Structure 1
Amino acid sequence: MNFLFAWRYFKSKKSTNAINIISWISVIAIAVGAAALIMVLSVFNGFQSLVKSMYGDFYPDLRVMARTGKYMTLDSGQIAKLHQIHEIKDLSLVIGEKALLTNGEYQSIAVLKGVDSNYDHVVHLSRHIEQNGHYGLGVERAPLLVLGGGIASSIGADANSTVPLVVYLPNRNSSLRTDLQSAMNSYEIKEVGIFRIQEGFDNKYAFTNLNFLRYMVELPKDYYTEVAIAIKAETDLYSVKKKIQRQLGNKYVVETRFEQNQSLFTVMQMEKWIIYIILSIILIIAAFNMVGALTMLVLEKRKDIAILKALGASKKVIQRIFLTEGFLLAGLGGLMGMFIAFIVCLLQQKFHLLKLEGGSFVVDYYPVKMHVLDFLLVGLTVFLVALLAAWVPARKAATKHFSLKS
């Protein structure tokens, strides 16, 4: 019954045309606010998905490191036990060390990672190698180098060059009194590939053969800086993390991909929620039109209210009628806004209508990804805004005395 009264009041012609106009303005305002919320949240989802995919090709699903110190020891038995965890798809052993790369008079500091042959199955670095090179690590006595695009640019490296680079690594057995030349081990190494993923990676990392780097830094057998692990699809990341932690013990720390980039993903989530709050406030401001429309409607229908009360309608019934009217206005606007946002997002996904300026990003258009939870969140937001906007006029209609002579 409440909906029938509300629907009749919404579509019926009013004595003052301004009430109809304000009602439709409030519907349009809610629609614009809801559409803006959905579209902005979808764009944030698109950027998050894009960044996660980029980082997923560099950071492993799980990473095992020493809880204290730089190096950890893992013997063949411990590695075999890790392979026995059926959720683990593949794993790679890694040694990382800061190195100096030189090309004639040009030089650059890099984090040089020595990795085994499984590494590309864990993080898929080869997907980002430039066309004039390839992914290759070589062997201990004939190592090859894959380096980031930023490092390559700073030292003038070229994957097709016949002139090798020189890598300098610290000599762990040298004393403090040793001269600089004796404190470093050097080796000529051929660059075969240049990767470009993200500026922070491209300017920092280079990759080579695991056994070569172990030999260069004179690291004992079974010493590593990390273990990179890929898990099978449709597997819960945190449950596998707990299994590995139990298997290895408290001397090791296991991190998920998100924990390896905690600050980045935290900032991205905060940005999304801040934008949601700002747009929700704009939606609340837009709802003031609805307050005005409902207040004028109460004054317009004061005789109807008096008749309903004379027929025995309680204050709660009157209040529910005008609350339903508010939900009707907001619901109509919310559904219109969600439909518009859905169509716009589909068009953006298919035709890339809105372009990114500059052309220096990974994609040249705004990435969009719609989530059902975002639609539910916006629907709940519209419901709460409607409740706040309709409460005062509905309360006034229920408590104020109206007579048929007024």
Structure 2
Amino acid sequence: MPLSFYIARRYLFAPKKHRAVNVISALSACGVALATLALVCTLSVFNGFQEMVAGFFTAFDPELKITVREGKTFCPSDSCLQAVRRLPEVDVWSETLEDNALVKYKDRQTVAVVKGVDGCYEQLASIDSLLFGAGEFILQDSVADYVVPGVELMSSLGCGIGFIQPLEVYVPRQGMRINPANPALGLRKGYLHSSGLIFIVNQQKYDAHYLLTSLDFARRLFGQEGQVSAIELRLVPGADVRSVQRRIAGLIGPRFRVENRYEQQADVFRIMEIEKLISYLFLTFILVVACFNLVGSLSMLILEKRDNVQTLRNLGADERLVRRIFLYEGGLIAVFGALAGIAGGLLLCWAQQQFGFLSLGSSGEFVTDAYPVSIHPADVLLVFVTVVAVSWLSVWWPVRYLSRKLL
């Protein structure tokens, strides 16, 4: 153990001549602990929200999604795509076609995303957990085409779950200009009947804009016979998604794009990561302010230990050893404050996970009544390193200055 660290540890725990020095040191440690606790709790809450949102998307989005880089549609019978289909890691292969369309019900209309899915889609997505109503997930029979709209889209159209009159769906005909005198000539029209079901993902992107129907109807409506806009995959249980994604990317080449669930919702998660980063920087700034209390604590300690420092110099201690003593002193205060703050933060996070005592005050309006919390060891390590680094940097120059002026 270095001599300077040994002396600093003795100074920290030994009784002082003036009780105020102990009080100021304790307050400095408490300031660091509170800032550390805030960092741990805030980052954990952001992690909780991110995982909660990821759970909603997971129920609707596939594990892997193949799309074309240029254009909207492609032929699924391409040889490289069929090679992907034969991979042993691929459990479910589902072809989908989606595009924007004008949806009308009686006197109400809105722009929606019509997503046509094939018969394997029910196996691909956890669709049963999203469906509400009294019908079955049947999108087409020999008589009619059926639809499963999002809950907010149903509300904006005012059609209810079991509507009698079919939805009218309009899209422009490819390569044909709209004639203002008779716009109907430039539009394709389709009818979708109620399946008795709606889906709820608790995300406006889907609930307010998407409706599910059969792939055959979507192909007829958009004039894309034999084409798809995406191939959605579910892998066998236990398959490594990242590894399979890289393998598929090597098979399909640069013409196609393969995305996992997080990449499919990159904008949402990027915004959440930016919010988390801004909160981290803001709380780090508060930590910097709290660390200035260490300067006052070390100033009082330097004044009290003048005689001891003079004795050390008479015994041969140089200026470097003296500065290290007080640097270690500030570092020890910061470390104890950081450990106390991390322990308190983890305890609060555990209590929130178990009891949910911090409520959103939503009265059932939100998908969760309490703040979600998820503790990531990497975040805890980042907080500890940040606290120690900021504390060390905040006392380094003041100790050098004070040791020259006061000793």
Q: Compute the TM-score of the two structures, normalised by the length of structure 1.
A: 0.90
Distance 2:5 2:91 in 1: 56
Equivalence for 1:224: 228
Distance 1:400 1:98 in 2: 73
Whichever residue aligns with residue 262 of structure 1, its letter is A
Distance 1:194 1:166 in 2: 14
1:384 partnered with 2:389: yes
1:125 partnered with 2:127: yes
Distance 1:171 1:330 in 2: 66
Task: Give the aligned CA root-mean-square deviation in angstroms.
Answer: 2.4
Deviation (angstroms), 1:66: 2.0
Deviation (angstroms), 1:250: 2.7
Q: What is the CA deviation profile of residues 26-57 of structure 1, one whole-angstrom value per residue up to 9, with x for unaligned ones? A: 01001100000000000000011111111222
Whichever residue aligns with residue 101 of structure 1, its letter is V
**Alignment map for 1:342-361 (pairs within 5 Å):** 342-358=346-362, 359-361=364-366
**Alignment map for 1:2-13 (pairs within 5 Å):** 2-13=4-15
Equivalence for 2:375: 370
1:111 partnered with 2:116: no
User: How many residues of Structure 1 are paired with residues of Structure 2 in the alignment?
Assistant: 400
Deviation (angstroms), 1:320: 2.3
Equivalence for 1:303: 307
Q: Secondary structure at the match of 1:313?
A: coil
Whichever residue aligns with residue 170 of structure 1, its letter is V
Whichever residue aligns with residue 263 of structure 1, its letter is D
Distance 1:132 1:121 in 2: 20
**Alignment map for 1:144-293 (pairs within 5 Å):** 144-161=146-163, 163-170=164-171, 172=173, 175-176=176-177, 179-182=182-185, 183-197=187-201, 198-221=203-226, 223-232=227-236, 235-293=239-297
CA contact (8 A) 2:154 2:161 kept: no
Give the 3 Å change call, closer, same or farther, for CA 143–186 of structure 1 in structure 2. closer
Distance 1:248 1:232 in 2: 20
Q: What is the CA deviation profile of residues 251-295 of structure 1, one whole-angstrom value per residue up to 9, with x for unaligned ones? A: 322233333322222211111111111111111111111111111
Structure 2 stretches of 5 or more lacking a match? none
Distance 1:318 1:140 in 2: 90
Distance 2:305 2:157 in 1: 80
Q: Secondary structure at the match of 1:108?
A: strand
Distance 1:299 1:25 in 2: 18
CA contact (8 A) 1:323 1:394 kept: yes
Distance 2:223 2:374 in 1: 49
Give the 3 Å change call, closer, same or farther, for CA 177–155 of structure 1 in structure 2. closer
Q: Compute the TM-score of the two structures, normalised by the length of structure 2.
A: 0.90
**Alignment map for 1:17-32 (pairs within 5 Å):** 17-32=19-34
Residues 392-401 or 73-82, more deviating: 392-401
Structure 1 stretches of 5 or more lacking a match? none
Q: Percent identity?
A: 33
Deviation (angstroms), 1:96: 1.2
Q: What is the CA deviation profile of residues 106-155 of structure 1, one whole-angstrom value per residue up to 9, with x for unaligned ones? A: 33332111101222333323312225455332346533211111111122
Residues 111-120 or 243-252, more deviating: 243-252
Whichever residue aligns with residue 396 of structure 2, its letter is W
Whichever residue aligns with residue 92 of structure 2, its letter is D
CA contact (8 A) 2:167 2:192 kept: yes
CA contact (8 A) 2:96 2:232 kept: yes
CA contact (8 A) 1:167 1:189 kept: no
CA contact (8 A) 2:303 2:406 kept: no
Q: What is the CA deviation profile of residues 309-345 of structure 1, one whole-angstrom value per residue up to 9, with x for unaligned ones? A: 2112233322222222111111111111111111110
